[in-house]
Chain A
Amino acid sequence: MTYADWLREDRLPHIYCAGCGNGTVINCTLSAIDTMGWRKEETVFVSGIGCSSRAPGYIITDSLHTTHGRALAFATGIKLANPALHVVIFTGDGDLAAIGGNHFIHACRRNIDLTVVCMNNMIYGMTGGQGSPTTPTGALSTTTPYGSNEAAFDLCGLASAAGANYVARWTSYHVKELTHAVRAGLESPGFSFIEALVQCPTNYGRRNKFRQVIDQIEYFKSHALLVQKADRMREEGKEIPSDMFVIGELAKRNRPALGVQR
């Protein structure tokens, strides 16, 4: 089998814009799931609202496309009621960190056995490009027309601090690494959080000097700093440039987890 065997072909074509990074993340996630040897009938996808959250509708398994921000609360009910089900959540930065922020930290605290893949495009794409909790300071959006004057959330830092067992960040450029990270998250008991930075050419890129799709992917490539290197720089007392972001496996531990099948 391949990732394609998990797609609901009668729902295609999808709604994503040309050049969108979400398809890459869906591909990586399904590829990782395919290597797990899971059966479709024991796998459930859950999502909230936004571009990322449309993904379960294109997948052949049972899926629940819920209300804005609440996917993790719905998924908690599914997983606790039937721990035999593998529950994977697709979400985005607005869905997870703004309206769903409280559910996010509590799901991490419970360390419930869910795998969350967050497509962080740093913008509200579906509603036309408004600022989100991960919009970088200074970035332009329809609701930050003079540049965002707020600080952005570090989603992985949040997940780590709140108690998730597995936390990793990659981008739509790092396809192999992202696939491996999702696989590691699926294997890990407890709460797994995989953040994938994705380009949104329609609503982020064109307002923020990424004229071509490839420009933002190039930016991910050139500004990503592997966690091992970042650690070494800190040890050496070197400052990490403010426009760089850390990628890699950011937490891996074995806190007691909820909802793991006995």
Chain B
Amino acid sequence: MQGNTACAEGALAAGCRFFGGYPITPSTEIAEDMASRLPKMGGVFIQMEDEIASIAAVIGASWTGMRAMTATSGPGFSLMMENLGFAIMTETPCVVVNVQRGGPSTGQPTMGAQGDMLQCRFGSHGDYSVIALSPASVQEMYDLTAQAFNLADRFRVPVFLMADEIIGHMREKLIIPDSVTREERKPLTKGDLPFKASNDLIPGFPTFGKGYGVHVTGLTHDERGYPCATSPTVHEELVKRLVAKVELARDTIASSDIINPDAKTVFISYGAPARTVQQLLHDLRSNDIGHLRLKVVWPFAESLLDRFPNAESFIVPEQNMGQIAREIERHTDRSVIPVPKLGGALHSPAELAGVLENLR
């Protein structure tokens, strides 16, 4: 099965019943599959007039209690940024798939890239935190999409599936599980203030149409949900909670594969470049090279670096100019070696072997 189709199937298995989208290469197959499948399952597919409207419709649908998602690529992702900030501020669960292509601008529509990894973390205005997953196989396009809905509902944030053209258009075997675990949104207890969080920092969700009478605004709001845009303390407490509810849970959200934790030289990868690292390790048949493969990139769980106590160097191959290498550098005093690759082709095993050679 193709990666993009696996993504759509994973979403449907997770109970996604609303898709609002706009065609864009290389993500379009996800919209096409949802257009074909959703109406037969009692769901809603709508092709909106642009990506701004697509994410808006998804957020609106989410407030009726529905699991909702959209899929796009770089230019559409850029258009979504303002409304993603609205989803963050209003704590609206939703899933956004970005099948990344080469940028800036129209760039390389049919070529893979990982150039939006910082945009998904920082692209909307203001301070916030989000969750971003990175699939490295068709199987993970299915599994991580399903997981994205659980994380979105649990943390009440947009969750990004940061795929890329290579994984999206790749075809390989997919094992469809009999069922996927579904974590329901915690409902608001009647009588509680709609934006007052409990100990987990996440308020219960007041679904529209259930009699809560909740006012939801992108303005800074108090625990009643009422606009309160000029109080320094209300704003500071709200933004700090929005960041903390994700960042304080980063070790529980984290998901990764760890190979050869005693190694002195460790590759850190996510998405398509992970496959080159896996091939290299397979070819070398050596226990001296470690590999940390991130399935969750944001929030970045720096404790994962401590799982490699002997590591002297972290080698970070990415299909960008070193976006996550920069984050890793921030958390360690060990040597971090970015291996940027632009243009759409994967790193070859020989290229990564060359990096190891230079270290000797």
B58, CB-defined interface residue at 8 Å: yes
Q: A104: nearest residue on chain B (CB-CB)?
A: B49
Whether the Cβ atoms of B60 and A77 lie closer than 8 Å is: yes
* A82 lies within 8 A of chain B by Cβ: yes
Contact B226 A62 (CB under 8 A): no
Chain B residues whose C-beta falls within 8 Å of the C-beta of A178 in the assembled complex: none
A56 within 8 A of B: yes
Residues of A within 8 A of B44 (CB): 80-81
Contact A70 B56, CB 8 Å, known A65-B216, A65-B218: yes
The bracket for how many chain A residues form the interface is 20 to 34
Whether a CB of chain B sits under 8 angstroms from the CB of A148 is no
A62–B188 alpha-carbon span in the complex (Å): 14
Contact A70 B208 (CB under 8 A): no
Chain A residue numbers with a CB within 8 Å of B50 are 102
**Does A84 touch B at the CB level, under 8 Å?**
yes
Query: Which residues of the other chain, A, contact B12 by a CB distance below 8 angstroms?
Result: none
Q: Which listed segment binds A: B61-69, B301-309, B325-333?
A: B61-69
CB A14 to nearest CB in B, in angstroms, measures: 11
A73 is an interface residue with CB less than 8 A from chain B: yes
Known: A67-B82, A102-B50. A78 touches B215 (CB 8 A): no
In the complex, the answer to whether B209 meets A74 with C-beta atoms within 8 Å is no
Which of B49, B53, B206, B226 is within 8 Å of A57, CB to CB?
Answer: B226
A64 at the interface (CB under 8 A from B): yes
Structural contact, A81 and B56, CB atoms closer than 8 A: no
The stretch of A39-47, A195-203, A208-216 that contacts the partner chain: A39-47
| Complex: chain B residue closest to A74, CB-CB | B60
Task: Give min CB distance, A226 to chain B, whole Å.
Answer: 34
A63 CA to B208 CA, complexed, in Å: 8
Residue A75, interface by CB 8 Å: yes
CB-CB under 8 A from B210, the residues of chain A are 41
Q: Please determine whether A60 and B56 come into contact, CB atoms closer than 8 angstroms.
A: no
Which residues on A sit within 8 Å (CB–CB) of B65?
82
Taken together as a complex, chains A and B put the C-alpha atoms of A44 and B215 apart, in Å, by 10
Supposing A65-B218, A106-B49 touch, asked if A77 and B213 sit within 8 A by C-beta, the answer is no
- Contact pick for B53, options A8, A82, A106, CB 8 Å: A106
With an 8 A cutoff between CB atoms, is B214 at the interface? yes
Q: Does A172 contact B (CB under 8 A)?
A: no
- The closest CB in chain B to the CB of A64 belongs to B216
Q: Which residue of B lies closest to A86 (CB)?
A: B209
Question: Which residues A11-48 have CB closer than 8 A to chain B?
Answer: 11, 40-42, 44, 46
Q: What's the least CB distance linking B3 to chain A, in Å?
A: 26
B208 close to A44 (CB less than 8 A): yes
**In the complex, are the beta carbons of A65 and B20 less than 8 A apart?**
no
Q: What's the nearest-Cβ distance from chain B to residue A257, in Å?
A: 14
B residues near A46, Cβ cutoff 8 Å: 60
A56, B215: Cβ atoms closer than 8 Å: yes
Query: What residues on B are CB-neighbors of A67 within 8 Å?
Result: 56, 82-83, 86, 218
B205-229 interface with A by 8 A CB criterion: 206, 208-219, 226-227
Residues of A within 8 A of B17 (CB): 81
Q: Is A85 an interface residue (CB 8 A)?
A: yes
Contact flags (1/0) for B193-210 with A, using CB distance below 8 Å?
Answer: 000000000000010111
Q: Please give the residue numbers on chain B whose beta carbons come within 8 Å of chain A beta carbons, in ascending order.
A: 17-18, 20, 44, 46, 48-50, 52-54, 56-66, 68, 82-83, 86, 206, 208-219, 226-227
Can you identify 25 A-B contacts, CB atoms within 8 angstroms?
A: A8-B213, A44-B208, A57-B217, A62-B208, A62-B212, A62-B216, A65-B217, A65-B218, A66-B59, A67-B83, A67-B218, A73-B54, A73-B57, A74-B56, A76-B56, A78-B60, A78-B61, A80-B18, A80-B44, A80-B57, A81-B44, A81-B61, A81-B68, A82-B65, A85-B208
User: What 7 A-B pairs are tightest by C-beta distance, nearest first?
Assistant: A77-B60, A77-B57, A73-B56, A73-B53, A81-B61, A65-B217, A41-B211
Starting from the known contacts A74-B56, A74-B59, A81-B17, 13 additional A-B residue pairs (CB-CB under 8 Å) come to A56-B215, A57-B226, A62-B63, A64-B216, A65-B215, A65-B227, A66-B59, A73-B52, A76-B46, A77-B58, A77-B62, A80-B57, A81-B44
